[in-house]
Amino acid sequence: MKINLRLRFYLIVFAILTITVMGGMVMVWYTFQMEAILTSITDRHLMAFQSAEAMENALSRQKGFVSYYFLDHDPEWLRQLGEYRQIFREKLSDAKKLATTDAQKQVIIQIETEYNRYIAAKDQVINLYKAEARNEGERLHKEVRSLFFNLLDLCENFKGIFKSDIQQARMMVQHQAGQLRFVAVAAILTGIGLAMMLMIFLVNHILTPVKKLTREVGGDTRPEKSGNEIQALSQSVRGLIEDADQTHHELQKSRETLLQAEKLALVGKLAAGMAHSIRNPFTSVKMRLFSLGRSIKLNDTQQDDFDVISYEIRHIDTIVQNFLEFSRPPKLKMQWISPSTVVDMAMQLMRHRLASYEVDVDIQREKILPKIEIDPEQLKEVLVNLMVNACEAMKKGGHILIHEDIGEDRNHKPAVIIRVSDNGPGIAGDILEKVLQPFFTTREEGTGLGLSIASRIIEEHGGRLDVKSVEGQGAEFIITLPFPKKII
């Protein structure tokens, strides 16, 4: 059953009214919550009242220590007096932080001033007692007592101020909460009235003209059949825009898929033919060249020619091998082994080659990586490929850094991360996204399959091979291998 636009509009307005009423009810409920929250704010005054009381208590405890000292000259009384003086100053500091009004701050200042006078006079009494001037000390001691009682009166006044503030704050909160409830009820009634006015206005000034315009545009088609006059007006334009965008996207995707499929199909045919037609004869040629190299004596020129022939044949064999590896997915021989062990195996294999390129390698690892299920030979091939590429990019001399760590993959799951970076010329930004694609190479003698084979091997392990580079600042290849569930 189709619902026409008018009925849909009524339903939406009804929903607005419902939401308004519910929102008002929530607002009324919230006022009660706010009353409770505001009431808790008055606890600040209560904390200040408690601080004033604690300050008064600390002052009272200071009474009598000088008299005790006068009687037995035990310095322990003076030490305890010092502790309570420190407590009084801490409580005075707390009261300062909680004082907000001018009256509160003024009383605090008076208390602090009188207390400083009280302390100074009391210290003078102590000094007189220490100097054995007892008569003069006793006379001054009586004056100190009057200062003491003045301080107690000031502390009591300070407490009274906060007690009055607490009562006023509670009355104010209750009054404001009542006003807010009144405003909420008024807002509900106003919202209902505005919603009704909005409905009448939209029906008379928007829906009716749109319906007439839809009939004129649709010709013989009656808008009641579609149930949405606005959709009848905008459907054609919106449909064309959506179809154009979707068609362009699908066309671009199909083009990329077709190009990739053509490349893969061509590689498959070439690899199959080359496997039977080229590799076996080249194997025989390599064996004969090896035999000739051991049995005949050549001069320097002939030896150079012989070495060039041998190198080129090995190069062609490598190209054939790369095509064969790319045309069929690697068959992984999984075993539980630490990737750190594979890194060390690759380093041992590359030791002489790195020396020939005058490249030094550093391995950064806090500890040996845990054992995971991988094919060590295939992973070693990936690492060797990355190091060879780095050496060839740096020409003569350079530095390679292999960093091992435990991190997370793009799905925030635990993973082993191996970073192979160099300080070579880096990769230009316009070709950075192409270096892992099949057949893409910047070297004249390259096949463009080495990195794509490495990427495929890592993907067969369930991981990723990513590349980061800034031209002129080296390149970094990141191997991410997931943890199996039994380790997690």
Q: What is the structure's pLDDT at 444?
A: 56
Q: Is the per-residue pLDDT at 132 higher than 80?
A: no
Q: Is the per-residue pLDDT at 74 higher than 90?
A: no
Q: What's the total number of domains in the chain? A: 3
Asked if residue 407 lies in contact with residue 417, where contact means CB atoms within 8 angstroms, the answer is yes
Q: Is the per-residue pLDDT at 224 higher than 50?
A: no
62 lies in the same domain as 119: yes
136 lies in the same domain as 251: no
Residue 6 lies in a domain: no
Q: Is the per-residue pLDDT at 250 higher than 90?
A: no
Pairing of strands 335-337, 372-374: antiparallel
Of 427, 417, 363, nearest to 390 by C-alpha is 427
Asked if residue 345 lies in contact with residue 376, where contact means CB atoms within 8 angstroms, the answer is yes
394 lies in the same domain as 478: yes
The whole-angstrom separation of Cα 360 and Cα 343 is 15
Residue 226 lies in a domain: no
The whole-angstrom separation of Cα 86 and Cα 55 is 11
* Domain of 472, in residue numbers: 335-482
Can you count the helices (H) and strands (E) in the chain?
A: 14, 7
Lowest mean pLDDT across 16-25, 273-282, 296-305, 467-476: 273-282
pTM of the complete model beyond 0.75:
no
Q: Is the per-residue pLDDT at 393 higher than 80?
A: yes
Q: Which amino acid is at 459?
A: E
Residue 135 lies in a domain: yes
Q: Which amino acid is at 29?
A: W
Helix (H) or strand (E) holding 336: strand 335-337
CB within 8 Å of 380: residues ≥ 6 apart: 342, 345, 346, 349
Half-sphere exposure of 134 (CA within 13 A, CB side): 6
CB within 8 Å of 275: residues ≥ 6 apart: 320, 324
Q: Is the per-residue pLDDT at 380 higher than 80?
A: yes
Most confident region among 46-60, 201-215, 233-247 by mean pLDDT = 46-60
Most confident region among 59-73, 230-244, 343-357 by mean pLDDT = 343-357
Structure tokens at 262: 């053509």
100 lies in the same domain as 46: yes
Band the pLDDT of 420: cuts 50, 70, 90: very high
- Last residue of a domain, which of 279, 302, 327? 327
Residue 71 lies in a domain: yes
Report the pLDDT averaged over residues 109-116: 83
The residue among 363 and 255 whose pLDDT is bigger is 363
Band the pLDDT of 123: cuts 50, 70, 90: confident
Structure tokens at 285: 């040629």
Report the pLDDT averaged over residues 283-295: 72
Q: Is the per-residue pLDDT at 488 higher than 70?
A: no
The whole-angstrom separation of Cα 369 and Cα 373 is 12
- Last residue of a domain, which of 327, 348, 375? 327
Report the pLDDT averaged over residues 355-371: 89
Q: What is the structure's pLDDT at 116?
A: 85
160 lies in the same domain as 271: no
Asked if residue 156 lies in contact with residue 56, where contact means CB atoms within 8 angstroms, the answer is yes
Band the pLDDT of 237: cuts 50, 70, 90: very low
Nearest-5° Cα angle at 486, 483 to 488: 55
DSSP string for 247-263: HHHHHHHHHHHHHHHHH
| Residues in a beta bridge with 94 | none
Q: Is the per-residue pLDDT at 17 higher than 60?
A: yes
Residue 390 lies in a domain: yes
Q: What is the structure's pLDDT at 433?
A: 77
Most confident region among 281-285, 392-396, 412-416 by mean pLDDT = 412-416
142 lies in the same domain as 264: no
Residue 345 lies in a domain: yes
- CA–CA distance from 362 to each of 131, 365, 404, 415 (Å)? 78, 10, 11, 22
Q: CATH no. for residue 395?
A: 3.30.565.10
Share the mean pLDDT of the chain: 75
54 lies in the same domain as 160: yes
The residue among 360 and 432 whose pLDDT is bigger is 360
Band the pLDDT of 239: cuts 50, 70, 90: low
Q: What is the structure's pLDDT at 267?
A: 61
Q: What is the pLDDT of residues 163-176, one digit of tens each?
A: 776 677 667 767 76
Asked if residue 54 lies in contact with residue 88, where contact means CB atoms within 8 angstroms, the answer is no
274 lies in the same domain as 306: yes
Q: What is the structure's pLDDT at 323?
A: 60
DSSP string for 206-233: IIHHHHHHHHHHHTTS-HHHHS-HHHHH
Report the pLDDT averaged over residues 291-316: 74
Burial of 81 (0-12, 13-18, 19+ CB in 10 A): buried
Residue 148 lies in a domain: yes
371 lies in the same domain as 242: no
367 lies in the same domain as 446: yes
Q: What is the pLDDT of residues 200-213, one digit of tens each?
A: 767 776 767 767 76
Q: Is the per-residue pLDDT at 221 higher than 50?
A: no
Pairing of strands 398-408, 475-482: unpaired
The residue among 76 and 401 whose pLDDT is bigger is 401
Q: Is the per-residue pLDDT at 370 higher than 80?
A: yes
Report the pLDDT averaged over residues 336-342: 92
Q: CATH no. for residue 143?
A: 1.20.1440.210
- CA–CA distance from 250 to each of 218, 238, 242, 254, 265 (Å)? 32, 18, 12, 6, 22
265 lies in the same domain as 375: no
Share of the chain above pLDDT 70, in %: 70
Residue 309 lies in a domain: yes
- Last residue of a domain, which of 308, 327, 346? 327
Nearest-5° Cα angle at 308, 400 to 454: 35
Q: Is the per-residue pLDDT at 223 higher than 60?
A: no
394 lies in the same domain as 412: yes
The residue among 220 and 334 whose pLDDT is bigger is 334
Q: What is the structure's pLDDT at 79?
A: 83
Chain length of the chain:
488
